[in-house]
Amino acid sequence: MKTFRTAADVTQHNVELVALSTDFWIKTADVWLIERTVTDELSYFQDGQLVAHKLKQ
């Protein structure tokens, strides 16, 4: 996901969130439904710099 954030001094910062996840699906009749999603890894960037990185433990 890419967006921007406005700081208190009205400076705009580019923000990017990158998530890697594992999805679990079930099929009921002829329809696939997502049962749950587990986020395995999450990275947060501001102005192209890595700010935070989390791994599932």
pLDDT along the chain (57 residues), means of 10: 94 97 95 97 98 95
Report the domain count for the chain: 1
Range of the domain at 18: 2-55
* Token pair in block for residue 47: 């102005």
The amino acid at 22: T
d(CA 21, CA 19) in angstroms, rounded, equals 6
Which residues, at least 6 apart from 32, have a Cβ–Cβ distance to it below 8 Å?
A: 25, 26
* Token pair in block for residue 54: 């989390």
pLDDT attached to residue 57: 84
d(CA 40, CA 42) in angstroms, rounded, equals 7
d(CA 22, CA 38) in angstroms, rounded, equals 5
